[in-house]
Amino acid sequence: MNLNDSTSSLEMDLKKNLSLVKGKNKLKLKKLITILSFLLPALILYSIFMLIPMFDAVRYSFFDWDGAAPSMNFVGFENYIKLADDKIFLKALSHNLLWVVLSLILMVIPTLVLAVLISRVKKGKTFFRAGFYLPSVLSLAVVGVLWSKIYDPMMGPINVFLKSIGLENLAKNWLGEPFYVIPALVIASTWAFYGLYMILFLAGLQNINHELYEAADLDGAGPIRKFWSITVPSLRNTLNVVISMVIINSLKGFALIWIMTQGGPFYMSELVSTYVYKAAFSMNKVSYATAGSVVLGIIVIVFTIAFNYYRERSEN
Amino acid sequence: MRDYRRLFSLALTIVMLLSLMVGCQSPTASSNDKETSKNNGSKSESATGDHGKTLNLYIPNYYNDVEKQQWAKVVEKFKELNPGVNVNVANGDVQVESGKLPTLLQSGVEPPDAILMNAGPGRVSVLSNVNLIQPLNKLYEKNNWKDQLRPFAYDLISGEKNIYELPHMVDAIGFFYNKDVFEQHGIKVPTTKDEFLKALQTLKDKGVAPITVGARNGYAIGWLFGVMLESAAGTEKVEELLYGNGKWNDPEIVKVAEMMADWVKKGYITKESVTQTQADSKFRFLSKKAAMEAEGTYLITDLVDQKLQSSVNSVMMPSFIEGKTAKPVGGIGLTWVIPTKAKDVDLAEKWFNFIVSKDYSQIVLNLPDYNFVPASKASIGIEPAGEVLKTSMKNIENGSGYNPSVFMGVEAKEAYYQNLQGLVGGLTKPKEAMDNIEAAAEKDRAEGFKLNKK
C-alpha cells in the first residue's frame, strides 16, 4: 500500500464521517424544528398571557404607580411593608385561609361520598350524574345572584322555611352577620364547584379494581371499612388533584364574593382578591394592589408545592 | 400530499393569527359600531364639516324603558339641530368605585368622545389625577359655560386650577315616601324633628318598615347618612368637613352616627338592610312594604314606569337644628367628561353646548317622566311637567346640601361605605366607625387630596 492510497482512503473516510456528521446535524436540526413547531404556538401564547404579565406584576409591585401615569417611582419593598401593616389586607388574608379550610371540609369528603353513592346507583346513574353536575355549568354571576336570593333575610327560602316551622331564632341574616357570612359564601361556592370534583372522583372510582371489593367481601368487611381501606387509598391520586384544586380555587376566588357581598359588610367577607381589585381599579393604587396579588400568588405556589412535596414523601 | 400538508398548516396558522387578532380587539368594538363607523367613513370622505361624523357617547345603564325613550328623544333633538351628525350611544357602568370606568379608559381602546359619569370631585379626580380625562378650561372659556351653569353647580367643579367636567344635573337626594302608607296610618308629612321621630315610631308600631335602604351598595347607605347629616349637623358642618378642617370623628358627626345606630336598634331602619341591594330596597319601597327611602330624583322614572306618580312624593327630613331648614343633599349627580384619548373633541363640545342649552332643558323638562334637575341656568325658568320633579326642583331653589360620598377621597369613601354598612349591621360602634373614616380621610390628605370650592 503506498502513501497515496492511504491518503485517499483517509480522505474518503473523512468525507464519509463529515457527511455522516452533517446528516446527523441536519437530522438534529430537523428534530429541533419539529419540536419547536409543536411547542412554539403554546409557548408564545403562554408567554404573552401568563409569563410576561406575571413578570410585570412582580415588577410593578416595586414601584409606586397609579396605572396610567407615564412615569413610575421605584419604591423597593415599600408596598410590601405597607401591606404587612394594613389591617384590612391581613384580615382579608385570614379570611382566605378560613375559606380554604371550610372549602376543604365542605368540598372534599362530601363530594367523594356523593360520587361513591352515585357510582352505586344501578338505574338512572346518568341522570344523577348530569343532575349533580348541572350547577357547574352555570356562570358564577348566576350562582351569585341565585344564592343572594336564597340567603335573603326577608324573602329567602331558607329563612321563610325556618320561620314557617317555628324556628324563627335560627333565621339569620346569612350574608350580614360576621359569624355566618364566610361559611354562607363557601357553601354557595361549594355548590358551584362540587360537580366538577364529583366527576373527577367518579372517573377515579371507575379505575378501582373490583376484585379488591370482592376480596374484602369474602373477608367480611363492611361498607365503611371498604370505603376507608379500599376506596380512599385507591383514589389517592384523584384526591391529591382535587385537594390541590380546592386549595388553589379557594385562594383565588373572586367572582362569587364580588357579586354577593363585594367584601362587605364592614370587610367581613373581604378576601385578598376583592381587596386588590378595589385597590387597583377603584382607588388607582395599581402597584399596591399588585404587591397584594404577588403575596397571594406566593401563598398559592407555596401551598401547592408544599402539598405536592408532602404527597410525594408520604407515597415514598 | 406533503404540499397539501404544508398548505393546510399555513392555512391553520393564518386562521390562528386572525382569531388571535380578533380576540385581542376591544370588546367595545361591537359589530354595530364597526358598521356605523364604516358607513360614516364612506360618508365623511365625500362630505365636509361635521356631516357624516359620529359622536360616541358613553352613558349610564338605563334604569328602565322610560329612561331609554327619554334619551332617544334627546338624541333625536341633537341630530335635528346638527344635521348630518350621527350619535352612537353606549351604556355601561359609569361609577368609578366599581373600577369599570377607569379600566375602560386605561385600556385606551376606542374611547368614547364624551362620558356621562357619576360626579363628585372624589370620583372625577380619580380619572383626572392619572390623565384619563382632559381639562376643559379652554372649552369653558370659548363657550362661556361658566355663565350657562347654575352658580351652585359651577362653584362645585371650579375650585381647582383645571376644570375637567361639565355638570349634567344637580342631585336632589331626600326622602321619598308612600303617601297612601302615611294616610293609612294617619301620619301627616312631618315638618319638625318631633313629628318626624313620632312618624317613625308610629310606622314601626303599625308593623311597617319606616325606612328601607340598600346598604349593600355603599352609595345608597351614603345617601341616607348624607340626608341625616344635613338634617342633624347642618350644611355648614358638612361643608367644614369636606372643604375645611372638619374631622369625621367630631362629636357632632359621631352623634349622627349614633342616631343611625339607634334607628337600627329601634327598628326604624331594618337591620337586614345591610345585605339588601339598592334594587331590593327600591322594590320594597315601591311595593309599599316600607314607608320611606332616601333617594334622588332618579326614582321618578320608576314611579312613571309603575304608575305610582300620584302615590309617592319627596319630602325633606326636617332639620333637627332650631330655626334651620334642611336642603336636599347631593351636589352634581352626573357629569360629562371628555377622555384624553377622545377622537372627536369638537363633536363632544357641540354636545356639551347642547346640554347647557334651553333646547335641551325644554325638551327634557317637558317630559312628564323626566327624572333629573338640569345643571344649566337655562332650566331655571322652566317648570317641569312631572309633579315629583317639580317638588324636588322647588326644594333646591335655595341651593343644596352635600352628599359626602361624592366629595371624598378614595380611601375615605371606601371606609365610609364599609363603616356605614357596619353601623347598619350592628358590626361596629358609632365612634369606632367615625374614627375609621377619619383615619382613611387622613390617608387621603397625606396623599394630597384636598377639596377647594369657589
A68–chain B Cβ distance below 8 A for any pair: yes
Per DSSP, the three-state class of A63 is strand
Asked if residues B112 and B106 have their Cβ atoms less than 8 Å apart, the reply is no
B100–chain A Cβ distance below 8 A for any pair: yes
A64–chain B Cβ distance below 8 A for any pair: no
A261–chain B Cβ distance below 8 A for any pair: yes
Q: Please state, in angstroms and rounded to a whole number, the distance separating the CA atoms of residues B265 and B419.
A: 16
DSSP assignment letter at A47:
I
C-beta neighbour count of A64 within 10 angstroms: 17
Q: Which of A68, A151, A282 sits opposite B414 (nearest CB)?
A: A282
Q: Which residue has the higher pLDDT, B14 or B250?
A: B250
Q: Residue B22: pLDDT above 80? A: no
Per DSSP, the three-state class of B341 is coil
DSSP assignment letter at B96:
G
The pLDDT value given to residue A14: 80
End-to-end, the C-alpha distance of chain A in Å comes to 65
The pLDDT value given to residue B44: 36
Q: Residue B31: pLDDT above 70? A: no
Q: Please state, in angstroms and rounded to a whole number, the distance separating the CA atoms of residues A31 and B105.
A: 47
- Integer angstrom CA distances of residue B440 from A268, B122, B147, B203, B229: 18, 13, 37, 37, 19
Beta bridge partners of A63: A74
Q: What are phi and psi of B94, to 5 degrees?
A: -115, 20
Question: In the numeric block, which cell numbers belong to residue B126?
Answer: 380619580
Q: Which of A154, A267, A268 sits opposite B272 (nearest CB)?
A: A154
Q: Which CATH number is A86-315's, of 3.30.2010.10, 1.10.3720.10, 3.40.50.460, 3.90.1150.10? A: 1.10.3720.10
A41–chain B Cβ distance below 8 A for any pair: yes
Asked if residues B125 and B449 have their Cβ atoms less than 8 Å apart, the reply is yes
The pLDDT value given to residue B223: 95
- pLDDT, tens only, B276-290: 999 999 999 999 999
What is the bridge-based pairing of β-strands B86-92 and B114-118? unpaired
Query: Does the CA dihedral B355-B307-B216-B197 come out positive or negative?
Result: positive
Question: In the numeric block, which cell numbers belong to residue A104?
Answer: 376543604
Q: Would you list the DSSP string of A179-229?
A: HHHHHHHHHHHHHHHHHHHHHHHHHHHHTS-HHHHHHHHHTT--HHHHIII
Question: In the numeric block, which cell numbers belong to residue A100?
Answer: 380554604
Q: Please state, in angstroms and rounded to a whole number, the distance separating the CA atoms of residues B412 and B438.
A: 7
- Report which secondary-structure segment, H or E, holds B117: strand B114-118
- Per CB-CB distance under 8 Å, the chain A contacts of B129 are 66, 284
Which domains occur in chain B, in start order?
A: 50-170+332-388 (3.40.190.10), 172-329+404-446 (3.40.190.10)
B132–chain A Cβ distance below 8 A for any pair: yes
Q: What is the mean pLDDT of chain A?
A: 89
Q: Percentage of residues in chain B with pLDDT exceeding 90?
A: 55
**A-interface mutation test, from B275, B418, B424, most A Cβ less than 10 A away:** B275
Q: How far is A262 from chain B (nearest CA, A)?
A: 8
Question: In the numeric block, which cell numbers belong to residue A161?
Answer: 322555611
Q: Residue B18: pLDDT above 80? A: no
Q: Residue A274: pLDDT above 70? A: yes
Q: What are phi and psi of A132, to 5 degrees?
A: -75, -25
Asked if residues A91 and A229 have their Cβ atoms less than 8 Å apart, the reply is no
The pLDDT value given to residue B67: 85
Q: How many CA atoms lie within 13 A of B268 on its CB side?
A: 14
Which residues, at least 6 apart from B193, have a Cβ–Cβ distance to it below 8 Å?
B318, B319, B320
Q: What is the mean pLDDT of chain B?
A: 86
Asked if residues A96 and A271 have their Cβ atoms less than 8 Å apart, the reply is yes
Residue B346: exposed, middle, or buried by beta-carbon count in 10 A (0-12, 13-18, 19+)?
Answer: middle
Q: Would you list the DSSP string of B400-431?
A: -EE-GGGGS-HHHHHHHHHHHHHHHTT-S-HH
Nearest to A280 by CA among B217, B104, B121, B102: B102
| Partner-chain contact A173 B126, CB within 8 Å | no
- pLDDT, tens only, B337-353: 999 999 999 999 999 99
Q: Please state, in angstroms and rounded to a whole number, the distance separating the CA atoms of residues B273 and A270.
A: 19
Q: How many CA atoms lie within 13 A of B271 on its CB side?
A: 15
- pLDDT, tens only, A66-116: 776 777 899 999 999 999 999 999 999 999 999 999 999 999 989 999 999
Q: How far is A264 from chain B (nearest CA, A)?
A: 7
Q: What are phi and psi of B251, to 5 degrees?
A: -50, -35
Q: Please state, in angstroms and rounded to a whole number, the distance separating the CA atoms of residues A157 and B277.
A: 18
ω before B190 within 30° of 0 (cis)? no
Q: Please state, in angstroms and rounded to a whole number, the distance separating the CA atoms of residues B181 and B208.
A: 9
Q: Please state, in angstroms and rounded to a whole number, the distance separating the CA atoms of residues B424 and B416.
A: 12
**Cell 492511504 -> residue:** A6
Indicate left, alpha or beta for B357 from its phi (over 0: left) and psi (-120 to 50: alpha): beta
Rounded (5°) CA angle B151-B152-B155: 80
The pLDDT value given to residue B26: 44
| Partner-chain contact B130 A284, CB within 8 Å | yes
C-beta neighbour count of A190 within 10 angstroms: 19
Domain ranges of chain A: 3-60, 86-315
**Cell 358564577 -> residue:** A140
Size of interface A-B (CB pairs under 8 A): 92
Amino acid found at A240:
N
Looking at residues A148-172, what average pLDDT do you find?
92
- Per CB-CB distance under 8 Å, the chain B contacts of A68 are 102, 105-106, 130-132
Q: What is the signed CA dihedral for B7, B13, B18, B21, rounded to 10 degrees? A: -160
Q: Where are the beta strands (DSSP E) in chain A?
A: 63-64, 73-74
- Report which secondary-structure segment, H or E, holds B309: none
Question: In the numeric block, which cell numbers belong to residue A242?
Answer: 382535587
Beta bridge partners of B204: none
- Per CB-CB distance under 8 Å, the chain A contacts of B103 are 281
- pLDDT, tens only, B126-160: 888 888 999 999 999 999 999 999 988 898 888 88
Nearest to A111 by CA among A13, A228, A196, A15: A196
- pLDDT, tens only, A238-258: 998 899 899 988 998 899 999
Asked if residues A254 and A277 have their Cβ atoms less than 8 Å apart, the reply is yes
Least CA distance to B444: which residue of chain A? A283
Q: Where are the beta strands (DSSP E) in B160-213?
A: 166-167, 169-178, 209-212
- pLDDT, tens only, B72-111: 999 999 999 999 899 999 999 888 777 778 888 888 788 8
Beta bridge partners of B55: B87
Give the pLDDT band (50/70/90) at residue B316.
confident
**Cell 341633537 -> residue:** B78
Q: Please state, in angstroms and rounded to a whole number, the distance separating the CA atoms of residues B159 and A293.
A: 37
Asked if residues B371 and B389 have their Cβ atoms less than 8 Å apart, the reply is yes
Q: What are phi and psi of B292, to 5 degrees?
A: -135, 155
- pLDDT, tens only, B358-417: 999 999 999 888 888 999 999 988 899 888 888 888 888 777 899 998 889 889 999 999
Asked if residues B321 and B193 have their Cβ atoms less than 8 Å apart, the reply is no
Q: Where are the beta strands (DSSP E) in B128-224?
A: 166-167, 169-178, 209-212
Q: Please state, in angstroms and rounded to a whole number, the distance separating the CA atoms of residues A64 and A288.
A: 7
Regarding an ipTM greater than 0.85, the answer is no
Nearest to B286 by CA among B307, B272, B268, B264: B307
B215–chain A Cβ distance below 8 A for any pair: yes
Looking at residues A165-185, what average pLDDT do you find?
92
Indicate left, alpha or beta for B182 from its phi (over 0: left) and psi (-120 to 50: alpha): alpha
- Report which secondary-structure segment, H or E, holds B292: strand B290-295
What Rg value do the Cα atoms of chain A yield, rounded? Answer: 29
Amino acid found at B102:
P
B14–chain A Cβ distance below 8 A for any pair: no
Question: In the numeric block, which cell numbers belong to residue B299?
Answer: 326614582
Q: Percentage of residues in chain A with pLDDT exceeding 90?
A: 58
The pLDDT value given to residue A4: 64
- pLDDT, tens only, B201-228: 999 999 999 999 999 999 999 999 999 9
C-beta neighbour count of A295 within 10 angstroms: 19
- Give the global pTM: 0.80
Beta bridge partners of B329: B173, B401
Beta bridge partners of B86: B54
